[in-house]
Amino acid sequence: MVGASVRVKGLTKRYGDVVAVECVSLSVERGAFVTLLGPSGSGKTTTLMMLAGFVVPTAGEIHIDDRLVTLDPPYKRDLGMVFQNYALFPHMTAFDNVAFPLRMRKVPRREIAERVERGLELVRLPGLGHRFPKQLSGGQQQRVALARTLVFNPRVLLMDEPLGALDKKLRQQMQLEIRHLHEQLGITVIYVTHDQEEALVMSDEIVVMRNGRIEQIGTPRAVYDEPRNNFVADFIGETNVLDGTIIKAEHSRYRVRTSAQVEVWCAGEGGLDPGRPVTMIIRPERARFVQSAESDNCLPARVEEVVFVGELIRYLLRLPSGEAIVLKCPNDSRTPDHAAGDRVLVRIDPEDIRVLPPLHSQPKEDT
């Protein structure tokens, strides 16, 4: 079984004046695992529902393997969909739930029994077919829903926050299981979540959405390391944002003066002129304490708060400019033991500072 490719062009949905999804274009390769990631209300569910055919778009086209399906009813699209609260049929046993799509496709009875058993084995739930949904735990229900969707070999699997109702441990376990199933079956998966960690762990590609629009598409590494804007940087992982002004632009780096009047080198592709105000984005785990101003790119600061998280220690520092900056250090013997009130020096490598046009020229984020 091979997954299908999905191509979406200019997909838009308006409810009266409310724009739920605006001009979303997306191309998903066969067998890819793509995640739609965004805060609440960013249009993820609406996009997925339009793909599945439950919401009629206001404009746009959807192709599955080069077949135009925009006007097809849901039951003719041959997409599998897993819903957030599973949507298991409460009046049917697990077996009947899994058999449902096969019965709808008029599969012979003997084959149904066999395929349902195989489906339940696939999600490691053999022998529980006789139970009703309410006799199963949340995780088991989740697996039945998965088996029910996979049993008819759909070429694309849509999942809307399928793990939202599970506790953290179980969620992490299911993330890996879904990942394995995806690798094993070669199916195309379009996955929706608002949990950035989940998106990073599971996806080949992440589509970051906000207010119905796509903000960035890229591999987990790309959206994490090279966020296209401040919103993406902030939404995926924790981020420090500092203001500055370019004072010198060289071949592949900038000299930037921070508002604390310290000058640092930053890596960059070029294209920004000297004198231009910019925003610097720094991941907390990429900054580190140094003993003395041994080299360039050091910022003086004062420790304001120390939080012990377990495998790492989180420091909240205050720069002389009044800006706050967060540092995450591994909890090992090399990390110096700082306490609130200490004066410290922080160093950030030029490659770890990302320079973007300043905040106010980017679309405002509403929270």
Partner 1 sequence: MRYLYHSVCGLVLMYLILPVFVVIPLSFSASPYLEFPPRGFSLQWYQQFFGLRTWYGSMIFSAEVAFLTMVLATILGTAAALGLARAGFRGAEALQTVLIAPMIIPHIIIAIAIYGWYAQLHLIGTLWGLVLIYSVLAVPFVVITVTGALQGLDPNLEPAAMALGANRVQTFFRVVLPNIRPGILAGAILTFALAFDEIVIAIFISGTTGTTLPKRMWEGIRTEINPTIAAASTILITVSFVLFALLETLRRGLARGKR
Partner 2 sequence: MPGSSASAVTAALLRGVERREEARRWLLVLPAGLFVGVLLFFPLLRIVSLSVWDPIFTLRHYGHAFQDPVFYRVLGVTFKVSLLTTVGCLVLGYPVAHLMAHARPAVANFLMTLVLVSFWTSLLVRTYAWMVLLGRRGVINNLLLAVGLISEPLPLMYNLFGVLVGMVHVLLPFMILPLYSVMKGIDRSLMLAAQNLGAGPFRSFLWVFLPLSFPGVTGGCLLVFMISAGYFITPALLGGRTDMMMGQLIELEVSQLLNWGYASALATILFVVVALLFLAYRRVATLRLPSGAS
Ligand X SMILES: Nc1ncnc2c1ncn2[C@@H]1O[C@H](COP(=O)(O)OP(=O)(O)OP(=O)(O)O)[C@@H](O)[C@H]1O
Q: Using CB under 5 A, list all residues that contact Mg ion.
A: 45
Residue with tokens 């778009």: 57
Name the segment binding ligand X (CB under 6 A); options: 44-52, 67-75, 219-227, 287-295: 44-52
68 forms part of the interface with partner 2 (CB under 8 A)? yes
46 forms part of the interface with ligand X (CB under 6 A)? yes
20 forms part of the interface with ligand X (CB under 6 A)? yes
Counting residues that bind partner 1 (by CB under 8 A) gives 28
How far, in Å, CA of 114 to CA of 323, rounded?
Answer: 63
Least distance from C-beta 129 to ligand X, angstroms? 31
257 forms part of the interface with partner 2 (CB under 8 A)? no
- The sign of the CA dihedral 148, 151, 152, 155 is positive
**Nearest residue (CB) to partner 2, 55 versus 206:** 55
Question: SS3 of 70, please?
Answer: coil
84 forms part of the interface with partner 1 (CB under 8 A)? yes
DSSP bridge partners of 7: 27, 63
Q: Which 168-207 positions form the footprint of ligand X (CB under 6 A)?
A: 194
DSSP bridge partners of 68: 63
Question: SS3 of 217, please?
Answer: strand
Q: Cα dist. 141→90, 100, 165, 297, 327 in Å?
A: 11, 15, 11, 53, 40
325-330 long-range contacts (CB < 8 A, ≥24 apart) are: 325/240, 325/242, 325/282, 325/284, 325/287, 325/299, 325/301, 326/238, 326/240, 326/284, 327/284, 327/287, 327/288, 327/289, 328/238, 328/284, 328/285, 329/288, 329/289
119 forms part of the interface with partner 2 (CB under 8 A)? no
Identify what 8 binds: partner 2, Mg ion, partner 1, none; CB under 5 to 8 Å per kind.
none
301 forms part of the interface with partner 1 (CB under 8 A)? no
56 forms part of the interface with partner 1 (CB under 8 A)? no
Q: Site for partner 1 (CB under 8 A): which residue of 30, 39, 72, 152?
A: 152
Residue with tokens 């101003």: 293
**Nearest residue (CB) to ligand X, 43 versus 268:** 43
Cβ proximity of 119 and 129 under 8 Å:
no
Q: Would you give the binding string for partner 2 spanning residues 160-199, x where CB under 8 A is met?
A: ----------------------------------------
β-strands 33-37, 205-210: how paired?
parallel
302-308 long-range contacts (CB < 8 A, ≥24 apart) are: 302/341, 302/342, 302/343, 302/344, 303/338, 303/339, 303/340, 303/341, 303/342, 303/343, 303/344, 304/340, 305/340, 306/338, 306/339, 306/340
Identify what 101 binds: Mg ion, ligand X, partner 2, none; CB under 5 to 8 Å per kind.
none
Counting residues that bind ligand X (by CB under 6 A) gives 12
Q: Site for partner 2 (CB under 8 A): which residue of 7, 30, 131, 314?
A: 7
Closest CA to 163 of 138, 129, 182: 138
Radius of gyration (C-alpha) of the chain in whole angstroms: 25
Q: Which 129-148 positions form the footprint of partner 1 (CB under 8 A)?
A: 134, 148
- For 21, the enclosing helix (H) or strand (E) is strand 18-28
Name the segment binding ligand X (CB under 6 A); options: 40-48, 220-228, 258-266, 315-323: 40-48
Name the segment binding partner 2 (CB under 8 A); options: 57-65, 166-174, 258-266, 272-280: 57-65
Q: Site for partner 1 (CB under 8 A): which residue of 19, 23, 87, 165?
A: 87
9 forms part of the interface with partner 2 (CB under 8 A)? yes
**Nearest residue (CB) to partner 2, 58 versus 321:** 58
Most distant CA pair in the chain: distance in Å? Answer: 77
Residues at the site binding partner 2, with contacts judged by CB under 8 A: 7, 9, 56-61, 63, 66, 68, 70-71
Residues at the site binding ligand X, with contacts judged by CB under 6 A: 15, 18, 20, 38, 40-46, 194
Residues at the site binding partner 1, with contacts judged by CB under 8 A: 49, 52-54, 73-75, 78-81, 83-85, 87-91, 100-101, 104-105, 134, 148-149, 152, 158
